[in-house]
Structure 1
Amino acid sequence: MIIKEKTYTTSELRYIIRSAKPDDAKSLSQVRIQIDGETENMDREKGEAYIDREGFGKIIEADSASPANLFLVAEADGEVVGFSRCEGNSLKRTSHRVEFGVGVLKEFWGHGIGKNLLQESIEWADSNQIRKITLSVLETNEKAIQLYKKLGFEVEGILKDDKRLSDGNYYHTIVMGRIHREN
């Protein structure tokens, strides 16, 4: 699915959020690797589950044609600095929900990019008969958990000792969901 481009301005940064385009594939491949190396909040370590330019091109093409998927990028000064994706499916029993994921380059944290990517995704879901958005978040990512709760997500479960980080310790993954209930 494709959405209309929106511009956001903070005191320090101007950026746009828009649907991913095939021309973004190379940048997305590079940005994803960088994000994975900047934080342990992601599911992967740097370079794991690598998606190359061609792979991202196929994802963008499929998502643009699917009413159940949304692939957004955040762009500042002509460069991709973050992205988010809602992935759904066509199975009758689960076609009402999508799974949300997000990543923003560390240099661009604190400008509301992740929040605005999520808000755009929520708006899209609510206007496209998507009843539920799910996501998972590492228990130590307290800032993200608070944001998700503020935007209507609730804790639905905890996957205990789900991730082992570089310190050798195991951490829980929190599963959250937001249900859109029409009045």
Structure 2
Amino acid sequence: MRVNSKEFFIHNLRYIVRSAIETDAKNLSEIRLQIDGETENLDREKGEAYINESGFKQLIKDDTESNSNLFLVAEVNQRIVGFSRCEGNKLKRTSHKVGFGVCVLKEYWGYRMGTNLLKESIHWADSNGMKKMTLNVLETNEKAMMTYKKYGFEVEGILNKDKLLSDGNYYNTILMSRFNE
């Protein structure tokens, strides 16, 4: 599904949040790879579960054609610097919910891009009859958890010792959700 573009101006930086289009595919493949190498907050290490340009083209096409998926990008000066996805499914018993994920290049942390991608996704979900949004967050990502709680997400469960990070220690994954009555 597509949504209208929205412009933001935060800390002297202007950026746009908009629906992904197929011509974004090459850039998305490159920045996803870069982001995966910049943080351990995501599930992947750099290069794992790599999605190439044609893979992103197909993902964008499928998401655009689906009423239960949303693929957004954050763009600065015609350059994609972050993105988010809401992914639903066609099974009747779980068709009321979508999973949410977000990532932003490290040099653009602090400009509320992740928050604005989240807010636009929540608005889309609520406007399209999605009753539940779910997400996973690493227990060490306290800033993200505070943001999610601010926007109505609650802890739903904990996956104990779920991720092995570079320091050799295991960390919990926090399952969070937001229910729209």
TM-score for the superposition, normalised by structure 2: 0.99
SS in 2 for 1:29: helix
Counterpart in the other structure of 1:168 = 168
Give the aligned partner of residue 21 of structure 2: 21
Q: Structure 1: which 5+ residue stretches go unaligned?
A: none
Runs of 4+ in structure 1 off by over 4 angstroms are none
Could you tell me which residue of structure 1 aligns to residue 85 of structure 2?
Answer: 85
Partner of 1:52: 52
Partner SS, residue 93 of structure 1: helix
Tell me which residue corresponds to 1:71. 71
Instruction: Write out aligned runs for 1:147-162 (5 A).
Output: 147-162=147-162
For structure 2, the residue ranges without an aligned partner over 5 or more in a row are none
1:112 aligns with 2:112: yes
For the pair 1:140 / 2:128, whether they are aligned, the reply is no
Q: Secondary structure at the match of 2:46?
A: coil
Cα displacement (A) at 1:166? 0.5
Equivalent residue letter for 1:6: K
Q: Counterpart of 2:135 in structure 1: which amino acid? A: L
What SS does the aligned partner of 1:24 have?
helix
Aligned length, in residue pairs: 181
Using the alignment, how far apart are the partners of 1:94 and 1:169 within structure 2? 34
CA distance in 1, matches of 2:11, 2:151: 23
C-alpha deviation, 1:12, in angstroms: 2.1
Structure 2: distance between partners of 1:116 and 1:10:
11
Letter in 2 for 1:53: E
Q: Distance in 1 between matches of 2:155 and 2:11?
A: 33
Residue aligned with 1:4, SS: coil
TM-score where L is the length of structure 1: 0.98
| Structure 1 residue identity aligned to 2:64 | S
